[in-house]
Copies of this chain bind each other. A is one copy, B any other.
């Protein structure tokens, strides 16, 4: 039920009533409770389905051969930068919404979210390693740490987008973040056509 997911993403868990959900989903309250039994479980199910799509989506962006791994990392950043503003309603990631909404989390939902983040982290780490193998990223760098940085930039750009930072500025943030990766000299010369750094 995609409309329900969007409703949750728009107004959060606490800010969404079961009536809202029923209206958004186009069915009555009884049917909802018959299918899920609980607002909590309904949210969990929605969140889990969202995570499934999210993990698969990022994996599709990041999986591939070594020689394009750096491009894929760049694509990850670009997609992150545009995530919110590309959404028709400017909705952000449901995982971010869940994580930020409160500290008293349903443990099942928290576990699901951690699993999703771990999955994306794995895809990113593998892609970083691929870029290292291809000589585009410093082989000394810890791939998992670089992945964590990329995830943080992803979430950070999302928050900034939700706060009103426009697409152009976010694209520039994305550029700086990419340039900030531990690129090898070769990769840097390929990705920065003309630089004033080597006179």
Contacts and interface: CB of A to CB of B under 8 A. Distances in A.
Contacts of A149: 153, 173, 176-177, 180
Interface residues of A, number: 56
Interface string A1-26: 00000000011111100000000000
A100 B196 contact: no
Interface of A: 10-15, 89-92, 95-97, 99-104, 110, 113-114, 117, 138, 140-142, 145-146, 148-149, 151-157, 159-160, 162-165, 169, 172-173, 175-177, 179-182, 196-197
Given A10-B104, A14-B11, A180-B180, A173 B160 contact: no
Nearest to A87: B103
Contact of A173 (B103, B148, B164): B148
Given A11-B14, A12-B14, A12-B15, 12 more contacts: A15-B101, A90-B103, A114-B164, A117-B164, A142-B172, A145-B173, A149-B176, A151-B160, A152-B153, A152-B177, A154-B156, A156-B157
B173 A152 contact: yes
Nearest to A89: B103
Contacts of A13: 15
